Amino acid sequence: MLTTLTVITLKPGANVARWALAQMATAPPRLRRVAGLRFCQLLGSGADNGFGFWPNLRRYGLIATWARAEDAAAFFASHPVWAAYAQRSHETWTAELAPLQAHGAWNGTNPFEGGDLAAPGGVGPVAVLTRASIRLRRAPRFWRFVEPTSRALAGTEGLRLAIGLGELPLVRQATFSIWDSAAAMQQYAYRDARHREVIQLTRREGWYSEELFARFRVLRSTGTVDGVDPLAGG
């Protein structure tokens, strides 16, 4: 099983922005019929690299799991849904990922089960995906911590990319990050005081009705995010 995470940065313009918003409703039924596609989710993003309160109408994401690598290659090579996005994009970046660890649920299921979860991480970049459904009454509390936590994350040693994504504004949020190594990711997760505080608060105050954590080995990537391939040089 292969997982892909694609970051899409659209060309500027009101017409493109309106088209992309419409795709959030119209594209999923077409994507569900793609050969070999086991799971997919179109995602929006916010300001400040996805972590801001206000939406970024030029940036979107697509997370997908595939039965075979060939199915993913065929989709990105010629499928009309992807071709429409590529035509309207300023740049795109796609990471190919192999699941190493996954627990929790996304809309009631774990889309990364069935991968080679026992495979060793090895040496090299790892990716982390977190996704949560935020209880509506806890959303103000959640967003109070997002900005300072994401600002601290941006300067973390060993971090190559961190981006915020979401299915629904304010209440269904995901983060995707790439690290030099599993050790660099764990250094942040276990030793950053602000991150530990937020994790403790989510448990104590019950911020989430559903959450998922997945870690991946990064196989390869194509394209750029903000003019840079996060995997270049490593």
Q: Per the domain annotation, does 234 fall within a domain?
A: no
Q: Per the domain annotation, does 228 fall within a domain?
A: no
Q: What is the pLDDT of residue 201?
A: 73
pTM: 0.88
Q: What is the pLDDT of residue 125?
A: 92
Q: What is the pLDDT of residue 62?
A: 97
Interval 143-192: pLDDT, tens? 677 666 676 677 788 999 989 898 876 667 888 999 998 888 888 776 66
Count: domains in the chain: 1
Domain span at 112: 2-221
Three-class SS of residue 85?
Answer: helix
Interval 119-135: pLDDT, tens? 555 568 999 999 988 88
CATH of the domain at 52: 3.30.70.100
Q: Per the domain annotation, does 111 fall within a domain?
A: yes
User: Would you call 233 exposed, middle or buried from its count of C-beta atoms within 10 A (0-12, 13-18, 19+)?
Assistant: exposed
Phi, psi of 101 (to 5 degrees): -155, 135
Share of the chain above pLDDT 70, in %: 85
Q: Per the domain annotation, does 213 fall within a domain?
A: yes
